[in-house]
Amino acid sequence: MSKLYFVVGSQDLYGEECLRQVAADSQKMVDFFNKKLGDTVTFELLPTVETSEICVQDMRKVMNDDDCVGVVTWMHTFSPAKMWIKGLQILQKPLLHLHTQANEKLPYDEIDMDFMNLNQAAHGDREYGYILARLNKAHEVVAGYYEHEDVLAKIRQFAQVAKAIDYSHNMRVATFGNNMRDVAVTDGNRLSCEIKYGWEIKYWGIGEIAELAKTATDAEVDAKVAEYESKYTMATDNVEAVREQARYEVAFEKFLAANKCHAFTDTFQDLHNMSQLPGIAAQNIMAKGVGFGPEGDYKISAFSAILMKMAEGRDGATGFIEDYTYDLTAGQELELASHMLEVPASFAATKPKIEVHPLGIGGKADPARLVFDSVTGDGIQVTLIDMGDHFRIICADIELVPVPKPMPKLPVAQIMYRHKPNFQIGTAAWCYAGGAHHSVVSTCLTRDDIAMFARLTGTELITIGEDTTEADLQKFFMPKF
Ligand code: MN
């Protein structure tokens, strides 16, 4: 179970009785958080920071504990913030500054100097906020009484984002083949990805998968086909094409497990010894939280896995999407996002059908794939691009809508959405910002989640939504002179 340490600030000027009360109140908060948020993360209290030495010891513990995904801090009393400098310099995990109090209401009739010395977050948390700003330390602030539902929801959100960042730092991506020849936005600097986000991006030849697929036993392939039949409707007579995809998925699962990878890429330009492009194999494995990027797109592969991790425990779909084509009817513009094959099965609103059709490019055998209509409702579309000297996340609010008319000749999964605030501004903003044609769509993550991830990882963020105006477009791209 992932863990957050709770570190509370005070100092040794107030005497033993005050410090005992600080520790007791802090433990009460931790118990409350464990009761309310224990399904997402556990909380553990560390010794109250009374000196710089204790702060350093606490932060060493945070850094040395592999189960710990982040730290929550709060100043019960005044805690002179120079005591926090060396500890905060050690801390390299997500940090939440919880601006709260042990007491909800001010006891107007009873309040005396002892009470005010004990309960002075308004004083201590501002001193602490200054040193976080002075140190340029990435952090999130949540303000309010700790038992209030909105505060708990924010702490839960922080825990989910912190878990996703921890997952990011343990991310290993298997790239089978390289980036698709000549494609720009899906390429970039793998070394920068590892330095910034912790992703180990490792190359293997697709022949590794072809070999493993050939050695998959009948029993393994039977079990995989049975899994498909339990979840999907077989709508093809070409069972051998489906069994071939089952072999690929067996091979991917074995390879990823053996090499501790949580995400992978392939490219239709390198399918050496494979008879089909992975279709249902990729769609089914993505629905299990495994990251996938086509055309060698290692960034979207890793990023999609991280966002699926962030979405764990929430209702809705999250996964890889590729932008394709528009309906430009004036005032009713829609986008059809429907990759050649690889739309995650998690987006299915109806029971997907397994079909086999030609691909049109790549010169391989007809691949088996899942065909379905998508879930609808509010969502976000988010991508991460490599700007050469920094990374940029672009997050657009969208509305997933039902397909207005059937498309009987388009044998792929179909996702349609409406851009915000409208087509003209929404898509122009995406283009100005340099958004990729590969992205992650989610009906359960929000702009706030992405903003928190961006803040805690120090990543530039551009958001697009109802609040985006024509005038904003000029901010998204301005040539440097
Ligand atoms: Mn593409």
Q: Whole-angstrom Cα distance, residue 50 to residue 26? A: 14
- The per-residue pLDDT for 275 is 93
Helix axis angle for 190-197 and 298-310, nearest 10°, is 20
- Structural contact between residues 387 and 461, judged by C-beta atoms closer than 8 angstroms: no
pLDDT in tens, 127-181: 999 999 999 999 999 999 999 999 999 999 999 999 999 999 999 999 999 999 9
Q: What is the mean pLDDT of residues 181-188?
A: 96
pLDDT in tens, 100-119: 999 999 999 999 999 999 99
- Structural contact between residues 434 and 385, judged by C-beta atoms closer than 8 angstroms: yes
CA of 437 to the centre of ligand 1 (A): 6
pTM: 0.96
CA of 316 to the centre of ligand 1 (A): 24
Q: What is the mean pLDDT of residues 425-430?
A: 97
Alpha helices in 232-275 (DSSP H): 239-258
CA of 336 to the centre of ligand 1 (A): 14
- Structural contact between residues 174 and 202, judged by C-beta atoms closer than 8 angstroms: yes
Which of 331, 329, 279, 317 has its CA nearest to residue 415?
A: 317
- The per-residue pLDDT for 361 is 75
CA of 297 to the centre of ligand 1 (A): 8
Q: How are strands ordered across the β-sheet holding 291-293?
A: 200-204, 172-176, 263-265, 291-293
- Structural contact between residues 413 and 402, judged by C-beta atoms closer than 8 angstroms: no
Beta strands in 212-317 (DSSP E): 233-234, 263-265, 291-293
- The per-residue pLDDT for 478 is 79
Q: What is the mean pLDDT of residues 449-477?
A: 96
Q: pLDDT over 70 for what percent of the chain?
A: 100
pLDDT in tens, 349-390: 999 999 999 887 777 899 999 999 999 999 999 999 999 999
- The per-residue pLDDT for 399 is 98
Name the 3-class secondary structure at 31: helix
CA of 339 to the centre of ligand 1 (A): 8
CA of 233 to the centre of ligand 1 (A): 28
Identify the helix (H) or strand (E) that includes residue 195: helix 190-197
Q: What is the mean pLDDT of residues 1-28?
A: 96
CA of 435 to the centre of ligand 1 (A): 12
CA of 61 to the centre of ligand 1 (A): 44
Buried b (16+ CB within 10 A) or exposed e, 397-435: bbebbebeeeeeeebbbbbbbbbbbebebbbbbbebbbb
Would the pLDDT of 477 be above 90? no
Q: What is the mean pLDDT of residues 192-218?
A: 97
pLDDT in tens, 331-355: 999 999 977 788 899 999 999 999 9
CA of 323 to the centre of ligand 1 (A): 8
- The per-residue pLDDT for 391 is 98
CA of 66 to the centre of ligand 1 (A): 36
- 98 has which bridge partners? 142
Domains of the chain: 3-165 (3.40.50.10940), 172-476 (3.20.14)
Would the pLDDT of 253 be above 80? yes
CA of 325 to the centre of ligand 1 (A): 12
- 379 has which bridge partners? 398
CA of 250 to the centre of ligand 1 (A): 25
Q: What is the mean pLDDT of residues 207-229?
A: 97
CA of 202 to the centre of ligand 1 (A): 20
- The per-residue pLDDT for 249 is 98
CA of 184 to the centre of ligand 1 (A): 10
CA of 393 to the centre of ligand 1 (A): 17
> Is the bond preceding 294 in cis, omega lying within 30 degrees of 0?
no
CA of 335 to the centre of ligand 1 (A): 15
Torsion, Cα 270 271 273 275, to 10 degrees, reads: -160
CA of 10 to the centre of ligand 1 (A): 53
Helix axis angle for 447-457 and 149-169, nearest 10°, is 50
- The per-residue pLDDT for 40 is 97
- The per-residue pLDDT for 157 is 98
- 99 has which bridge partners? 143
CA of 322 to the centre of ligand 1 (A): 6
Mean pLDDT taken over the chain: 96
CA of 338 to the centre of ligand 1 (A): 11
CA of 255 to the centre of ligand 1 (A): 25
CA of 58 to the centre of ligand 1 (A): 46
- The per-residue pLDDT for 475 is 87
Which of 31, 25, 38, 28 has its CA nearest to residue 156?
A: 38
